[in-house]
A and B are shown apart, each in its own frame.
Chain A
Amino acid sequence: MLSAIGVDDIEQLYASIPDALRVEGALSLPPAFRSEVELKRHVDGILATNVTTTEVLSFLGAGCYPHYVPAVCSEVNSRAEFLTAYAGEPYEDHGKWQAIFEYTSLMAELLEMDVVNVPNYDGHQAAATALRMAVRVTGRRSVIVSAAVPAAKRAKIDTYLAGAADVLTVPIDPATGRIDRTALGGLLDDTIAAVFIESPNVFGVVESDAASLATAVHAAGALVVCSTDPIALGFLPAPASWGADIVCGDIQSLGLGMHFGGANGGFIASHDEERIVFEYPSRLFGLAPTAVDGEIGFCDVAYERTSLAMREEGVEWVGTAAALWGITAGVYLSLVGPRGLRELGDTIAAYTRYAIESLSGVPGVELPFRGSAHWRELVVRYRDTTVAEVNERLRERGILGGADISDQFPGLGQLSVFCLTELHEQADIDRLVSELREVLA
């Protein structure tokens, strides 16, 4: 090939790179594995030292949830065509466009909203972007965020809104774990672009009073931005039904698996209000006619919003994010269907309540929000010891206790968030309760 282009030495092709910038000698890296066999032995050997949640009894959630991944989800997202496609047009990648459009459409049904983005990175990014959208839509310079939002998500919101809007916090009512309604009333005025509500929130508590919150927020001319987990919507009503204007969150629960917290996709949804649609930074896919009557085609909707079309004049930016996870979530929703999602919701609600009531009988454990509606997660307070200590002792017994969120709520004591999903059984909860009794005894 060198001779085909009239070059003697590959070095001539690097003529533009000055000597001073060259790497001297070889990089210092471990030697290559000669065969797949050796590579596999090495990597599998390393991974084998992990102890997974399926090898113990885990109650960890807190932003990464153990839900079943149907085999068909993995089958579809490991198809070479989907796995290795990229930025092709409908003329090469028609199937990809349709699969992503179907994902957004299935989400639209679930969320009861007409507009859903092609996924961005994760639920944190979705939350931060949803709030900036609201800031742009209203032209106002402050947002109010519920205190019951995971700390890392809040950090993302703060950093992402810096310079664009002030972020105020509305506290929770310590009696219910829900947003303090009176405090919210005091913060709302005509400078507020949006109120950010998470439901179920960081405590697993459902914001059951959301409809009346939304009425108050709308009366102040602000948008309701709601973060939720779509898998909860077989049980809980769609946030749009009680007045949410922009709904956002992560699709990790929809067939992606946990991956040590490394599998995420962010969704943002809204009604088909032109002012809001033009503020989406993500790509939006639409259904379009083709030159052949009756044929389904797909294309971008209002592409001119994006940084790809407009560089820095576009809305925020869009780039490679989580498209194949979106397709996977679409497969999940197609498989589980309305009945499956309903049963899943009931099952998780039932386990969560059963765990709340069972744990409330354990000496040294308090259930601060026991009377509130929960879904999938619940928070306990250890009266006499730390979460770290309890978890250490539980781990010795093959149990991963709830996540430690004490640092986030210093006034509320030692708080641990337990997560229950369809992968648990009633006996798992019973076992937790009995082990915890012993640990705390």
Chain B
Amino acid sequence: MTIVSEPTATRDERLSRITRKGLVRDYHAPRWDEPLIFDLHSDGQRGVMLPEAPSSLTSAIGSSPEGSVRRAERPGLPEIGQPQVLRHFLRLSQETLGADLNVDIGQGTCTMKYSPKINESFAGSPKSVDLHPLQHHSMAQGTLRILSELEQYLAEISGMDAISLQAGAGSAAIYSNVKIVQAYHESRGDADTRDEIVTTIFSHPSNAATARTAGYKVITLYPGEDGFVDFEALTAVLSERTAAIMITNPEDTGIFNPRIAELVEAAHAVGALCVYDQANANGVLGITRARAAGFDLCHFNLHKTFSTPHACGGPAAGAIGATRELEPFLPGPRVRLGDGGYQLIDAGPLATAPARPFYGVIPNLIRAYAWIRAMGADGLREVAEIAVLNNNYVMNALTRIDGVTAAYIQEGSPPIEQVRYSWAGLTQDTGITSGEIGQRLADFGMHYWTSHHPYVVPEPATIEPTESYSRRELDEYIASLAQVAQEARHSPDFVRAAPHRSSVHQIDSEAMNDPDTWATSWRAYRRKHLGEQRDMPDHWKPEEGAPAKPRPPKAFHR
């Protein structure tokens, strides 16, 4: 907003205009110019006092065995009072653009939807927080009931026979599924020959990465010209060596592969398992289910589809669905309702190793439970339908902007819950890249994401309008993006220099990719850039003359 000291318009004129707001905001991010927490240090300050053991006990430490292991000095943490700590972190929170604040449809594939506030009161209830995982099951009946019923709901939503709620996030669930695949083939004695996993380039990178971590050879299918898995390519690579196919559908391009059941059939024909990544399930809730397409395993990201807040990148939660045949391989103890109420029973001899400590990310499982209970069957279907409608609405409007196209969208086959756009046209005309558009969009108080690497669609952008945004909000996002596209044509240098209205300015990340200059902590920064001298304790050293591994080419986040 420009403040004019001598208004050129009369007060009445200005008064009459204040309600005529356009769609494009005159936004500026909060900017506190907040120092690092270490600068807040003040000798002797404390943010919180904790109870102390009686001095009769603490004074005995010196003569006890513990006395010999007690460290000589206090750890090198800063000393700060409670109000100062609170103010510091509140300022940082203000400099963070949560989904609660913005039209968060630009973080495609992330399913940024509204996380109802009421669910926070359940997740943070002392009746949940103060529960120890090893206390007797009779004392945890409430939580166990929630877990059991949530399993049933997710079984119904996916069509699968059994659910494990143990995985700590989406990728952890994918890894667990890979381990289930491995255990299944081991139980049949052909784990050694089945050493290949087939996935697609538009599936989340974790499908390929977890398979590789588990020791599999990974074969990636690239799309045909229609964006779908090339069916012939799939059948060409399937063999008695295939352990599983791992597919996301709708893929990250937002298009639903109508031949998905045929892909599954082809994989089953060679004895491979089929694993469905349901990260993009938001547009198909109550419409179609993993089991219908014949999948053996699937997973949901509860922080995406089932509304648990994204929390800056976790805690999250993943749910795994399995057929009856694969249920014995699910990780973690199983919840069962018996005569004595709900119990946790041992996972059995075939079960894969626990995915994480104890039973799952409980606060998120409670949130997801409450969300499903608030929605019901009709509500879930409505969520899907509105998400799909919103997506098609945005696509319809965005593709009218000169220079942007929607990848792989065919007449008569609308996208489901997101679209992968390409700004290749605009880039060709103006030189402004998709990444630069994203940087400028921050000036409007909005997120924007390109796509996973490698970019198969040139100059990509992935937009996923969930059910949580009104038409006006979608129009606002579209108008802002249209304005950036205009700017790219008229003032490309201005776009290139963005952001102009962020909490910070363009970051020079070059130094952070060089081992000599990167600063992975304040402590590292002091040593490398402020000349702090420090003695290294005893530590491992590479063998004399051991060659350093070659490094991958530098990559940057956007």
Q: Which of B354-407 contact A (CB under 8 A)?
A: 354, 356-366, 369-370, 372-381, 385, 388-390, 392-393, 396
Contact pick for A301, options B206, B210, B363, B512, CB 8 Å: B512
Contact pick for A260, options B212, B362, B392, CB 8 Å: B362
Is the CB of B337 closer than 8 A to any CB of chain A?
no
Q: Which residues of B contact A341 (CB under 8 A)?
A: 74-75, 77
A350 touches B61 (CB 8 A): yes
Known: A46-B142, A125-B356. Is A300-B557 also a contact (CB below 8 A)? yes
Contact pick for B99, options A14, A84, A115, CB 8 Å: A84
**Segment of A141-149, A228-236, A431-439 engaged in the interface with chain B:** A228-236
A86 touches B110 (CB 8 A): yes
A84 touches B537 (CB 8 A): no
The docked-state distance in angstroms from the alpha carbon of A257 to that of B58 is 25
Leading 10 A-B pairs by shortest Cβ distance: A261-B358, A32-B376, A261-B133, A262-B362, A95-B95, A335-B47, A319-B171, A95-B92, A163-B215, A317-B209
User: Smallest CB-CB separation from B471: which chain A residue?
Assistant: A1
B47 touches A290 (CB 8 A): no
User: Smallest CB-CB separation from B132: which chain A residue?
Assistant: A60
B373 touches A292 (CB 8 A): no
User: Smallest CB-CB separation from B445: which chain A residue?
Assistant: A92
B206 touches A319 (CB 8 A): yes
How many whole Å from A30's CB to the nearest CB in chain B?
Answer: 7
B311 touches A324 (CB 8 A): yes
How many whole Å from A73's CB to the nearest CB in chain B?
Answer: 9
B127 touches A50 (CB 8 A): yes
Is the CB of B179 closer than 8 A to any CB of chain A?
yes
B552 touches A47 (CB 8 A): no
A13 touches B392 (CB 8 A): yes
How many whole Å from A378's CB to the nearest CB in chain B?
Answer: 11
B539 touches A44 (CB 8 A): no
30 A-B pairs whose Cβ atoms sit less than 8 Å apart in the complex: A5-B393, A16-B255, A22-B287, A23-B288, A29-B380, A31-B376, A44-B127, A52-B126, A66-B130, A88-B447, A93-B97, A95-B92, A101-B522, A109-B523, A259-B129, A263-B362, A264-B356, A303-B513, A307-B209, A312-B209, A314-B209, A321-B313, A322-B168, A334-B80, A337-B79, A344-B50, A346-B52, A347-B51, A373-B66, A374-B65
Is the CB of A155 closer than 8 A to any CB of chain B?
yes
Q: Specify the main secondary structure of chain B where it touches its partner.
A: loop
Is the CB of B233 closer than 8 A to any CB of chain A?
no
Known: A18-B258, A301-B520, A343-B52. Is A93-B130 also a contact (CB below 8 A)? no
User: Smallest CB-CB separation from A349: which chain B residue?
Assistant: B66
B140 touches A108 (CB 8 A): no
**In the complex, per-residue mask of B282-308: 1 if CB is within 8 Å of any chain A CB, else 0:** 001011110011000000010100000
A299 touches B289 (CB 8 A): no
Give how many B residues have a beta carbon under 8 Å from the other chain's beta carbons. 218
A261 touches B132 (CB 8 A): yes
Is the CB of A36 closer than 8 A to any CB of chain B?
yes
**In the complex, per-residue mask of A273-291: 1 if CB is within 8 Å of any chain B CB, else 0:** 1110110000011111111
**Segment of B5-13, B117-125, B418-426 engaged in the interface with chain A:** B117-125
**Segment of B34-42, B235-243, B319-327, B482-490 engaged in the interface with chain A:** B34-42
Contact pick for A308, options B61, B211, B453, CB 8 Å: B453
A278 touches B50 (CB 8 A): no
How many whole Å from B5's CB to the nearest CB in chain A?
Answer: 26
A290 touches B507 (CB 8 A): yes
**Segment of B18-26, B267-275, B540-548 engaged in the interface with chain A:** B540-548
The docked-state distance in angstroms from the alpha carbon of A330 to that of B78 is 11
Is the CB of A78 closer than 8 A to any CB of chain B?
yes
Q: Which residues of A contact B508 (CB under 8 A)?
A: 288-291, 297
Q: Which of B501-532 contact A (CB under 8 A)?
A: 502-509, 511-513, 515, 518-525, 527
A46 touches B372 (CB 8 A): no
Is the CB of B143 closer than 8 A to any CB of chain A?
yes
How many whole Å from B316's CB to the nearest CB in chain A?
Answer: 4
User: Smallest CB-CB separation from A316: which chain B residue?
Assistant: B213
Known: A50-B143, A218-B539, A303-B556. Is A333-B77 also a contact (CB below 8 A)? yes
B502 touches A108 (CB 8 A): no
Give how many A residues have a beta carbon under 8 Å from the other chain's beta carbons. 224
Known: A13-B388, A83-B311, A224-B540. Is A104-B79 also a contact (CB below 8 A)? no
Contact pick for A76, options B69, B86, B309, CB 8 Å: B86
Is the CB of B71 closer than 8 A to any CB of chain A?
yes
Q: Which of A314-366 contact B (CB under 8 A)?
A: 314, 316-325, 327, 330-331, 333-354
Is the CB of A191 closer than 8 A to any CB of chain B?
no
Is the CB of B17 closer than 8 A to any CB of chain A?
no
Q: Which residues of A contact B390 (CB under 8 A)?
A: 1
Q: Which residues of B contact A14 (CB under 8 A)?
A: 287, 388, 414, 416
Given contact pairs A23-B288, A86-B104, A245-B540, a sample of 17 additional A-B residue pairs in the complex whose CB atoms are under 8 Å apart: A16-B257, A46-B146, A92-B502, A99-B92, A105-B36, A105-B38, A108-B520, A114-B527, A122-B168, A123-B357, A233-B71, A296-B504, A308-B205, A313-B552, A321-B169, A373-B68, A423-B51
Is the CB of B193 closer than 8 A to any CB of chain A?
no
B312 touches A100 (CB 8 A): yes
Q: Which residues of A contact B412 (CB under 8 A)?
A: 15
How many whole Å from B345's CB to the nearest CB in chain A?
Answer: 15
Chain A CB within 10 A, most for which of B130, B303, B525, B557: B130
Q: Which residues of A contact B92 (CB under 8 A)?
A: 95-96, 98-99
A260 touches B289 (CB 8 A): no
Q: Which residues of B contact A156 (CB under 8 A)?
A: 353-354, 356
B130 touches A317 (CB 8 A): no
Is the CB of B28 closer than 8 A to any CB of chain A?
no
Contact pick for A121, options B168, B309, B362, CB 8 Å: B168
Q: Which residues of B contact A214 (CB under 8 A)?
A: 538
B314 touches A321 (CB 8 A): yes
Known: A16-B256, A122-B357. Is A426-B57 also a contact (CB below 8 A)? yes
Contact pick for A69, options B129, B363, B389, B498, CB 8 Å: B129
Q: Which of B37-64 contact A (CB under 8 A)?
A: 37-38, 44-54, 57-58, 60-61, 64
Contact pick for A395, options B58, B136, B287, B447, CB 8 Å: B136
Chain A CB within 10 A, most for which of B100, B129, B378: B129
Contact pick for B208, options A76, A123, A242, A311, CB 8 Å: A311
Q: Which of A17-41 contact B (CB under 8 A)?
A: 17-18, 20-23, 26-33, 36, 39-40
The docked-state distance in angstroms from the alpha carbon of A137 to that of B548 is 9
Is the CB of B460 closer than 8 A to any CB of chain A?
no
Known: A75-B86, A84-B309. Is A1-B389 also a contact (CB below 8 A)? yes
Contact pick for A291, options B79, B301, B505, CB 8 Å: B505
A234 touches B74 (CB 8 A): yes
User: Smallest CB-CB separation from A354: which chain B residue?
Assistant: B57
The docked-state distance in angstroms from the alpha carbon of A93 to that of B30 is 10
Q: Which residues of A contact B45 (CB under 8 A)?
A: 337
Q: Which of A174-221 contact B (CB under 8 A)?
A: 206, 208, 211, 214-215, 218, 221
Known: A31-B376, A84-B100, A214-B538. Is A288-B135 also a contact (CB below 8 A)? no
B356 touches A15 (CB 8 A): no
User: Smallest CB-CB separation from B361: which chain A residue?
Assistant: A262
User: Smallest CB-CB separation from A94: which chain B residue?
Assistant: B503
A307 touches B206 (CB 8 A): yes
Chain A CB within 10 A, most for which of B112, B356, B379: B356
B91 touches A95 (CB 8 A): yes
Contact pick for B505, options A218, A295, A308, CB 8 Å: A295
How many whole Å from A166's CB to the nearest CB in chain B?
Answer: 14
Q: Which residues of A contact B218 (CB under 8 A)?
A: 312
Q: Which residues of B contact A10 (CB under 8 A)?
A: 385, 388-389
Q: Which of B402-445 contact A (CB under 8 A)?
A: 412-414, 416, 438-439, 442, 445
The docked-state distance in angstroms from the alpha carbon of A233 to that of B288 is 52
B131 touches A321 (CB 8 A): no
Is the CB of A8 closer than 8 A to any CB of chain B?
no
How many whole Å from A35's CB to the nearest CB in chain B?
Answer: 9
Is the CB of B82 closer than 8 A to any CB of chain A?
yes
